[in-house]
């Protein structure tokens, strides 16, 4: 019994921290309408800044706490308010981009500033004081302080939201921003106050929990999963229910630590318990439609059959060029363009066409890689199809709960699924089910080989690169034809309004299961290609955090554009790999680039996506036969010179980039309409072009004189 109470005290102290962090999450959501995926990262940054003050610079603890909570956290909250202001009115996927970008960017920034290879610890508050004794139970002063702070936060938030004018303004802003403005209140001020308080609570939680865990950017940021679970208990609205959910999560973690049987299959269950509880909460508690203003959905391009076929051929040709130009070692790094391209392509039908947000695509790619590794150990070609079927079945499984979820709730559910795979499923050793041995990564790595096709065994990296390029081209063509099909039009209707889709006779369950299965099958195929390219993969390569940059780049490219697969693969495996090799000092900056791009997208700098801009830039060149001939001939000449070793790789790359920039601009100038003839008009002594307005004024003057 004493042990049970002791674990309960530990659970309650942890629950108090989850309650503080979760209440900040609920506060920002209920007052701004934006779900902040970077909430835990804000607490993580606050914990690191607190460590820098206390341990790094020797600032006394009270002063360090005051500096973090009264200076850093409020300014950080204002920065969040400014950064997230442009997301108002965007679609669900676009709205999530900014907070996911901030999550990824803050984690990488923390690793940039504070070397993750250096161990860091924080002392607990009042560690030198003798602990409290309640009978046979011992309570540290840090635990007591944590629970006291949670009570103070609960009371203060209740008073603020329901007993003050500022609280009323904050709650009213998300319901009707325009109406709040008409009453004389300032919606922007209410949002700024909400973000300052929300980040303040994240900072409090980060400072309190940092001494209890390792000071690691990823671990501290993902502790928010437990706070997510608590917030979902409160349906992102109720603070009392959020605190109750925090108690459930904290005690569950504590009792699993103390009473979970010790064997090789269950340790990961304790780590995955918050994510599992989040899934359960998402499925059990009813969720209404997310509140907020009307969404501005980006139009989905309608590709032509001819253009899609040409694009598929171009992708295959690019694969052949890379295979003939790069060495074996370079192909292992840069040949991943096409494998990552297939994984990125899986977002297009799911999020781009159907509007279903998924943050677990890379984790599903890991399932495809594992399935092919075990079924195609000797290169059996059918193992690729089997891997796609298995990954598609997992996608269909995800689609079942997705019927109850949409928007941010669906993003949370898929993120939780990815975390469960990371922390538990992928770490399991081999096991048997009904006499069938099932092995995943088997607590290590799995080896993959190229397939045997038409009697030809693909063994070299160059052959696998060309094969992956052909697969990406065919998959892209298939997705383009899906967009043109009747089912593709149904998916677009599903994205526009699920309620209208169902009202008009559409089967939501069938549509979601089909698109989730298709998307997962494509991701599983990409995972198998990724494993073939590297020859061996581990579970860490398919983690939740590793998949965030891919999601960001796809959104930057344009969720509905078929070319976003190749674009994502080229960016993720090209510059992000090449720049650190050429300029090691820029390694950390390069890793932050996807997050910066996501922030730029949400800020409106990229509009409908990077590919829309490129399409407009290249449209004239693609229609101009002369420009197209010059471009193809120039690239072919450079390719021949490089294969003949007349020029080196740097000259080829520079020439290709120059051709890609100069030829479209030249074509645009050739097709630019002539400038209007400048007719001197002496009108108040100003010389400018003659316009229709001038004619109207002249006619009126003549009529007045006659």
**pLDDT tens digit string along 627-638?**
888 888 888 888
Give the span between the Cα atoms of 279 and 268, in whole angstroms. 16
| Cα–Cα distance measured from residue 346 to residue 394, given in angstroms and rounded to the nearest whole number | 14
Rounded distance, CA 235 to CA 218, Å?
26
Burial (CB < 10 A; 0-12, 13-18, 19+), residue 309, is middle
Using the predicted structure, report yes or no on whether residue 121 has a pLDDT greater than 50.
yes
Cβ–Cβ < 8 Å for 533, 585: no
Whether the predicted pLDDT of 309 surpasses 70: yes
Which of 59-63, 147-151, 440-444 is predicted with the least confidence, judged by mean pLDDT? 440-444
More confident residue, 671 or 594: 594
Highest mean pLDDT among 110-114, 191-195, 312-316: 312-316
In this predicted structure, the answer to whether residue 266 has a pLDDT above a threshold of 50 is: yes
Q: Taking 90 as the threshold, does the pLDDT of residue 476 lie above it?
A: yes
Whether the predicted pLDDT of 4 surpasses 90: no
Q: State the distance between the two ends of the chain, measured CA to CA, in whole angstroms.
A: 108
> What span, in angstroms and rounded, lies between the C-alpha atoms of 541 and 409?
25
Half-sphere exposure of 346 (CA within 13 A, CB side): 34
State how far the Cα of 528 lies from the Cα of 403, in Å rounded to an integer: 28
Measured torsion, CA atoms of residues 384, 385, 388, 393, in degrees rounded to the nearest 10 = -140
Q: Phi/psi at 295 (nearest 5 deg)?
A: -85, 150
pLDDT band, residue 218 (cuts 50/70/90): confident
From CA 25, how far away is CA 242, in angstroms rounded?
A: 10
Neighbouring CB atoms inside 10 A of 521's CB total 25
Instruction: Share the mean pLDDT of the chain.
Output: 82
At 207 the pLDDT is 92
Q: Are 511 and 490 in contact (CB under 8 A)?
A: yes
> If DSSP codes are grouped into helix, strand and coil, which group holds residue 164?
coil
User: Rounded to whole angstroms, how far apart are CA atoms 533 and 531?
Assistant: 5
Least confident segment among 39-43, 134-138, 254-258: 134-138
Q: Facing residues of 438 across strands? A: 431
pLDDT of residue 291: 39
Q: What is the mean pLDDT of residues 656-678?
A: 73
HSE toward the beta carbon, residue 364, CA cutoff 13 A: 35
Token pair for residue 116? 């993750």
The H-or-E segment that residue 132 falls in is strand 132-134
pLDDT class of 485 with cuts at 50, 70, 90: very high
Residue 549 in this model has a pLDDT that exceeds 80: yes
Residue 681 has pLDDT above 70, yes or no: no
pLDDT of amino acid 576: 72
Who's near 642: CB < 8 A, 6+ residues apart?
325, 648, 649, 651, 652
| Alpha-carbon distance values, 432 to 69, 429, 437, 439, 440 (Å) | 52, 10, 4, 9, 12
SS (H, E, C) 480-541: HHHHHCHHHHHHHHHHHCHHHHHHCCCCHHHHHHHHHHHHHHHHHHHHHHHHHHHCEEEHHH
pLDDT of residue 583: 66
Q: Would you place residue 684 in the very low, low, confident or very high pLDDT band (cuts 50, 70, 90)?
A: very low
Does position 679 have pLDDT exceeding 60, yes or no? no
- How confident is the model at residue 656, as a pLDDT? 82
Q: How confident is the model at residue 182 (pLDDT cuts 50, 70, 90)?
A: low
Share of the chain above pLDDT 70, in %: 85
Average pLDDT estimate for 62-68: 94
Size of the chain in residues: 706
**Other CB atoms within 10 A of residue 474 CB:** 14
Is residue 54 over pLDDT 90?
yes
DSSP 3-state of 436 = strand
pLDDT of residue 582: 62
H or E element in which residue 601 lies: helix 587-602
Give CA–CA dist 5/410, Å, rounded: 36
pLDDT at 530 exceeding the cut of 80:
yes
Q: What share of the chain is helix, strand, coil (3-state, %, to 5)?
A: 75, 5, 25
How many angstroms separate the CA atoms of 564 and 612, rounded?
A: 10
Mean per-residue pLDDT for 152-164?
Answer: 85
pTM (2 d.p.): 0.86
382, pLDDT greater than 90 = yes
Rounded-to-integer distance, Cα 97 and Cα 99, Å: 6
Whether residue 55 contacts residue 263, with contact meaning beta carbons closer than 8 Å, is answered with no
């Amino acid at each position: 019994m004493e042990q049970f109470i002791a674990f309960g005290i530990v659970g309650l102290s942890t629950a108090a921290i989850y309650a503080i962090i979760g209440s900040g999450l609920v506060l920002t959501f209920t007052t701004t309408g934006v779900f902040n995926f970077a909430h835990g990262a804000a607490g993580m940054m606050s914990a690191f800044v607190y460590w820098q003050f206390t341990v790094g610079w020797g600032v006394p603890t009270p002063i360090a706490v005051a500096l973090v909570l009264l200076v850093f956290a409020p300014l950080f909250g204002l920065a969040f308010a400014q950064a997230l202001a442009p997301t108002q009115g965007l679609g669900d996927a676009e709205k999530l981009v900014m907070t996911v970008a901030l999550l990824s960017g803050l984690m990488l920034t923390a690793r940039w500033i504070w070397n993750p290879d250096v161990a860091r610890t924080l002392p607990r508050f009042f560690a030198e004081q003798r602990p409290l004794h309640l009978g046979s139970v011992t309570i540290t002063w840090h635990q007591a302080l944590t629970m006291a702070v949670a009570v103070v936060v609960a009371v203060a938030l209740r008073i603020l939201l329901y007993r003050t004018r500022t609280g009323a303004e904050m709650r009213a802003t998300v319901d009707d921003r325009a109406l709040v403005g008409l009453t004389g209140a300032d919606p922007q001020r209410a949002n700024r106050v909400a973000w300052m308080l929300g980040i303040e609570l994240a900072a409090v939680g980060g400072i309190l929990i940092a001494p209890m865990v390792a000071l690691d950017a990823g671990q501290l940021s993902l502790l928010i999963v437990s706070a997510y679970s608590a917030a979902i208990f409160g349906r992102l609205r109720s603070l009392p229910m959020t605190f109750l959910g925090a108690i459930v999560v904290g005690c569950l973690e504590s009792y699993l630590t103390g009473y979970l049987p010790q064997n090789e299959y269950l340790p990961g269950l304790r780590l995955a318990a918050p994510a599992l509880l989040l899934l359960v909460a998402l499925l059990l508690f009813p969720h209404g439609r997310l509140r907020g203003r009307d969404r501005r959905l980006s139009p989905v391009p309608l590709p032509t059959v001819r253009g899609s076929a040409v694009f598929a051929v171009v992708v295959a040709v690019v694969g052949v060029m890379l295979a003939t130009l790069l060495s074996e070692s370079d192909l292992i790094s840069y040949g991943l363009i096409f494998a990552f391209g297939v994984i990125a392509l899986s977002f297009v039908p799911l999020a781009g066409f159907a509007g279903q947000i998924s943050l677990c695509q890379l984790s599903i790619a890991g399932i495809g890689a594992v399935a092919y590794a075990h079924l195609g150990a000797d290169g059996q070609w059918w193992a690729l199809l089997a891997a796609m079927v298995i990954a598609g079945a997992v996608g269909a499984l995800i689609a079942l709960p997705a019927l109850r979820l949409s928007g941010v709730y669906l993003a949370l559910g898929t993120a939780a699924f990815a975390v469960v795979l990371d922390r538990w499923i992928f770490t399991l050793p081999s096991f048997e089910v009904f006499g069938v041995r099932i092995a995943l990564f088997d607590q290590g790595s799995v080896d993959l080989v190229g397939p045997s096709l038409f009697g030809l065994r693909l063994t070299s990296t160059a052959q696998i690169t060309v094969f992956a390029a052909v697969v990406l081209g065919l998959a892209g063509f298939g997705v383009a034809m899906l967009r043109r099909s009747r089912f593709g039009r149904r998916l677009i209707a599903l994205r526009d309004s699920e309620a209208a889709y169902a009202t008009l006779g559409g089967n939501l369950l069938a549509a979601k299961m089909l698109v989730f299965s298709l998307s997962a099958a494509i991701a599983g195929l990409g995972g198998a290609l990724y494993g073939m390219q590297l020859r061996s993969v581990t579970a860490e390569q398919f983690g939740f955090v590793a998949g965030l940059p891919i999601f960001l780049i796809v959104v930057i490219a344009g969720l509905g554009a078929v070319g976003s697969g190749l674009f994502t693969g080229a960016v993720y495996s090209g510059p992000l790999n090449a720049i650190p090799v050429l300029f090691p000092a820029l390694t950390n900056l390069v890793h932050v680039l996807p997050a910066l791009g996501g922030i730029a997208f949400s800020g409106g700098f990229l509009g409908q996506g990077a590919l829309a801009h490129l399409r407009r830039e290249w449209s004239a060149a693609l229609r101009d036969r002369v420009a197209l001939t010059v471009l193809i001939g120039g690239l072919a000449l450079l390719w021949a010179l490089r294969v003949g070793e007349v020029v080196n790789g740097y000259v080829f790359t520079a020439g290709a980039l120059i051709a890609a920039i100069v030829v479209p601009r030249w074509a645009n100038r050739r097709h630019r309409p002539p400038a209007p003839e400048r007719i001197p008009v002496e009108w108040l002594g100003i010389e400018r072009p003659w316009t229709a307005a001038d004619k109207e004024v002249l006619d009126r003057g003549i009529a007045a004189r006659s």
